[in-house]
Amino acid sequence: MIKGIQYRSRLFYQTQTLIKLGPAWQHRFRLAAAHIPEGVSVLDVCAGPGDLHRHLPSGCRYTALDASPDFTRHMTARQIPCLVHDLTRSLDAIDDHFDVAVMIISLCHFGHARAQSLLTELTRLADKVVIVEEITENVRPEGSRLQRTMNFLTATDYASSYSILSAHEFKRIVTAAGYHYQRADLRYAVGIYERET
Ligand SMILES: C[S@@+](CC[C@H](N)C(=O)[O-])C[C@H]1O[C@@H](n2cnc3c(N)ncnc32)[C@H](O)[C@@H]1O
């Protein structure tokens, strides 16, 4: 299988993100951090190179989870606690419990059925779950040039498609899993689950 460079090089990933998002490239982390209280344990699911950890409120204890060998090696070298796990498989093997689980612009990697079950599994792993997703009003057809380019760049052993959701699809998926839906702005929507005490 041909592997794309997007998740094999931290520098490529961060540069590509900077080119795409410009000065707003850290906005998604701030959106997520606004829902995280101080001093809690945080699991960053599909963490990429772990950039969220620099945006957390004070006293938070950060753990990353990703399947990319390159990103997880980078985090381990910087003493960032990191779980290596392929989310096409269930999260049931993970024993830890977290105050908050976060997932940023990554639901787009999973087909609707796995997205749905993953959202439910996350509610067992954490008391609060915050999903920040990039959304579009202009969903690209499966074979479009942009879709093929994104699939090529992000191809790995564990991720074979990247398909940005419409706000409507995202809302349907998160509300079906018991999350509250919020439209954050033109680019992002948020799904929030909070366990009742
Ligand atoms: C678009 S990036 C988002 C990274 C980070 N959350 C951010 O906002 O910069 C998607 C991440 O999901 C990870 N990923 C994709 N499919 C995965 C899977 N099946 N299991 C675990 N991680 C996966 C990729 O390795 C990549 O780091």
pLDDT of 91: 94
pLDDT of 133: 97
pLDDT of 141: 66
Q: Is the CB of 133 under 6 A from ligand 1?
A: no
pLDDT of 142: 67
Report the nearest-CA residue for atom 19 of ligand 1: 87
Q: How far apart are CA 63 and CA 43, in angstroms?
A: 5
Q: What angle do CA 70, 40, 93 make, to 5 degrees?
A: 55
pLDDT of 14: 93
Q: Is the CB of 109 under 6 A from ligand 1?
A: yes
pLDDT of 107: 95
pLDDT of 126: 98
Q: Is the CB of 49 under 6 A from ligand 1?
A: no
Residue whose token pair is 């702005």: 185
Q: Is the CB of 67 under 6 A from ligand 1?
A: yes
The rounded Å distance from CA 46 to ligand 1 centre is 4
pTM listed for this prediction:
0.93
Long-range contacts of 106-110, Cβ-Cβ distance < 8 Å, separation of 24 or more: 106/45, 106/46, 106/133, 107/131, 107/133, 107/165, 107/170, 107/173, 108/133, 108/134, 108/162, 108/163, 108/164, 108/165, 109/46, 109/154, 109/159, 109/161, 109/162
Q: Is the CB of 86 under 6 A from ligand 1?
A: yes
Q: What angle do CA 75, 158, 96 make, to 5 degrees?
A: 55
The rounded Å distance from CA 87 to ligand 1 centre is 9
* 71 CA: nearest ligand 1 atom: 27
Secondary structure (3-state) at 50? coil
Structure tokens at 1: 């299988």
pLDDT of 5: 76
What is the chain's pLDDT, residue by residue, as a tens digit (197 residues)?
557 778 888 998 999 899 999 999 999 999 999 999 999 999 999 999 999 999 999 999 999 999 999 999 999 999 999 999 999 999 988 999 999 999 999 999 998 899 999 999 999 999 999 999 999 887 666 667 777 777 777 777 777 677 889 999 999 999 999 999 999 999 999 999 999 87
**Cβ atoms < 10 Å from Cβ of 128:** 20
* Beta strands in 8-153, from DSSP E residues, in sequence order: 41-45, 61-66, 82-84, 98-104, 126-136
Q: Which CATH class is domain 10-191?
A: alpha beta
The rounded Å distance from CA 197 to ligand 1 centre is 31
Report the nearest-CA residue for atom 10 of ligand 1: 106
Q: What are phi and psi of 195, to 5 degrees?
A: -65, 135
The rounded Å distance from CA 49 to ligand 1 centre is 9
pLDDT of 1: 55
Q: Where are the domains of the chain?
A: 10-191
